[in-house]
Amino acid sequence: MTENGDLVVIGAGPAGMAAAEEASAHGLRVVVLDEQPEPGGQIYRNISSNQRNESRINDILGPDYRRGATLARQFAMACEDGRIDYRPDCTVWQVDGDRTVHLSRSGRAEDLRARRLIVATGAMERPVPIPGWTLPGVMGAGAAQIMLKAAQAVPRGPVVVAGAGPLLLLIARQLVDAGATVAALLETTRAADYLAALPKLPAALRAPGYLRKGMAMRRRLRQAGVPAFAAVQDLSAVGSARVEAVRFRHRGKTHEIAAEILLLHQGVVPNVQITRQLGCAHDWDPAQRCWRPALDEWGNTSLDGIAVAGDGGGIAGAEAAALAGRIAGIEAAHRLGKLDAGARRAKAAPLRRELGIHRAVRPLLDALFHPSPEILNPPDAATVVCRCEEVTAGAIRDAVALGATGPNQAKAYLRCGMGPCQGRLCGLTVSEIIAAATGKTVAETGYYHIRPPIKPVSLGELAGMDG
């Protein structure tokens, strides 16, 4: 049996919560599907519980995290008033062009059809394929932050934090404040990146708060005595049963630092699995080295009635995501007959002005924290790229030599991208490797064709669905 609704929002991070709250305020019947047990998304994960318990973790995570509590409270009030039907613990595994959403909840598969759909699935960490990254103890830096937010868990033993990006500095600072032993901060950012970013500085000064935060984080790490290395190369995890050390080259010399945990980060990219599976048009973003759905100023995709809000449409941060969510909510109200065009423009205007301020810093950050070339295209042939199917960088290059011209041909040769993650962890790297091997751009090389189910679903759940 298929249930119907005005608006379905997939995701309850800042964009999803704001979009749902805004749309519901204009009289739309809104259903929010969330993979997590409570709203907040990755950036505000567990925010309601941590605030309610007055946990010390709130101070460690900082004011940006606490800011999510206001949005979560507004969302909760709309749910209590019956304006929003919030459904946690839902796994969306297929979306159809007619806006039918297929999902699993409590071991049962369900269908939900919407007059309008907002995809607010946010961002995911860019994969960082280096030698040894599949060893136990090596994980994305975001995973350590999730442990802090969800369980107040702090890693034991020496931790090395490596890569590039504002989140790398934030997590290193949070770990220090939580009592972890951060043995080193290894940054791949090069002098060339600073030179490339310099012309972007004047525009970024429209949002000076972001720059002040960055300087404050570096100052805190220096005060804590965390050794910092810039422009590192040849990064690798060393160990047998698990990571034991991190090896890297700095200023022409090879160094090795003992570590029980290695946290890797090279920025975040839009989560485009749903929009790819739907067949929405996508653009290659050369600055952020990722794909993003092609959107108009209201967040509309190339498919009628389907919009994207937040970092899933391009990385701009949590506050920008909430503003984009509100604009998408206003657009939903307009498209479904609750607001005329004039009221839509008037309500969106102040949000757009504020959104422009938050986005002003992005060109600087994109240039400064550009992913290192050896991360985008791993030089070591033995480096695993597709973890699900254990496909190496060398195997992908061999497939190109045999005639594979793009990721989908490589998939046929090697099964890369056919595991449980459906290409989320290897897609960008596979495209980069093939582009480099063929001499084409990544935009010309393309990306995987994403087919349902985009998340694992059991045969029992499928069999239990109504015909």
381-439 tens-digit pLDDT: 999 999 999 999 999 999 999 999 999 999 999 999 999 898 999 999 999 999 999 99
With respect to residue 354, please indicate whether it lies within any of the assigned structural domains: no
Claim to verify: residue 191 and residue 253 sit in the same structural domain = yes
Question: Residue 187: exposed, middle, or buried by beta-carbon count in 10 A (0-12, 13-18, 19+)?
Answer: buried
In this predicted structure, the answer to whether residue 1 has a pLDDT above a threshold of 80 is: no
Claim to verify: residue 111 and residue 12 sit in the same structural domain = yes
Claim to verify: residue 280 and residue 247 sit in the same structural domain = no
Claim to verify: residue 260 and residue 157 sit in the same structural domain = yes
119: three-class secondary structure by DSSP: strand
pLDDT at 273: 97
58-106 tens-digit pLDDT: 889 988 898 899 999 999 999 999 999 999 999 999 999 999 999 999 8
The token duo for 98 is 């007619």
CATH number at residue 177: 3.50.50.60
Q: Is the dihedral of CA 41, 33, 50, 425 positive or negative?
A: negative
CA distance 310 to 325: 6
With respect to residue 394, please indicate whether it lies within any of the assigned structural domains: yes
With respect to residue 45, please indicate whether it lies within any of the assigned structural domains: yes
Claim to verify: residue 93 and residue 191 sit in the same structural domain = no
With respect to residue 246, please indicate whether it lies within any of the assigned structural domains: yes
Angle separating helix axes 166-177 and 141-151, nearest 10 degrees:
40
Domain range for residue 153? Answer: 127-266
Q: What is the mean pLDDT of the chain?
A: 95
Which of 244, 266, 288 finishes a domain?
A: 266
CATH number at residue 409: 1.10.10.1100
With respect to residue 344, please indicate whether it lies within any of the assigned structural domains: no
Claim to verify: residue 282 and residue 410 sit in the same structural domain = no
The token duo for 244 is 């034991």
120-157 tens-digit pLDDT: 999 999 999 999 999 999 999 999 999 999 999 999 99
Claim to verify: residue 31 and residue 106 sit in the same structural domain = yes
Which of 207, 240, 266 finishes a domain?
A: 266
Which of 215, 242, 266 finishes a domain?
A: 266
In this predicted structure, the answer to whether residue 54 has a pLDDT above a threshold of 90 is: no
Cα R_g (the chain), whole angstroms: 22
In this predicted structure, the answer to whether residue 113 has a pLDDT above a threshold of 80 is: yes
The model's confidence at residue 466, banded by pLDDT at 50, 70 and 90, is: low
pLDDT > 90 in the chain, percent: 89
pLDDT at 364: 96
425-462 tens-digit pLDDT: 999 999 999 999 999 999 999 999 999 999 988 888 88
Claim to verify: residue 100 and residue 75 sit in the same structural domain = yes
- Average pLDDT for 107-113: 92
In this predicted structure, the answer to whether residue 166 has a pLDDT above a threshold of 60 is: yes
With respect to residue 414, please indicate whether it lies within any of the assigned structural domains: yes
244: three-class secondary structure by DSSP: strand
pLDDT at 20: 98
CA distance 41 to 105: 18
CA distance 306 to 303: 6
With respect to residue 138, please indicate whether it lies within any of the assigned structural domains: yes
- Average pLDDT for 4-33: 96
Claim to verify: residue 190 and residue 212 sit in the same structural domain = yes
- Phi, psi at residue 181, to the nearest 5°? -95, 100
pLDDT at 51: 84
With respect to residue 318, please indicate whether it lies within any of the assigned structural domains: yes
Claim to verify: residue 143 and residue 255 sit in the same structural domain = yes
Residue 320: which region, alpha, beta or left (left: phi > 0; alpha: psi -120 to 50)?
alpha
pLDDT at 467: 53
The model's confidence at residue 2, banded by pLDDT at 50, 70 and 90, is: low
- Average pLDDT for 24-41: 96
- Average pLDDT for 223-228: 97
176-204 tens-digit pLDDT: 999 999 999 999 999 999 999 999 999 99
Q: What is the pTM of this model?
A: 0.95
pLDDT at 57: 86
Assign 3-class secondary structure to 38-92: CCCCCCCCCHHHHHHCCCCHHHHHCHHHHCHHHHHHHHHHHHHCCCEEEECCEEE
Q: How many helices (H) and strands (E) does the chain have?
A: 20, 21
Among 463, 457, 372, 425, CA closest to 133:
425
Q: Render 282-351 in DSSP notation, one character per residue.
A: EEEETTTTEEEE---TT-B-SSTTEEE-GGGGS---HHHHHHHHHHHHHHHHHHTTSS-HHHHHHHHHHH
Claim to verify: residue 160 and residue 228 sit in the same structural domain = yes
Among 63, 100, 78, CA closest to 19:
78
The model's confidence at residue 296, banded by pLDDT at 50, 70 and 90, is: very high
CA distance 46 to 462: 31
pLDDT > 70 in the chain, percent: 99
Of residues 55 and 248, more confidence is placed in 248
Domains of the chain: total: 3
Claim to verify: residue 143 and residue 254 sit in the same structural domain = yes
Segment among 12-21, 326-335, 447-456 with least mean pLDDT:
447-456
236: three-class secondary structure by DSSP: strand
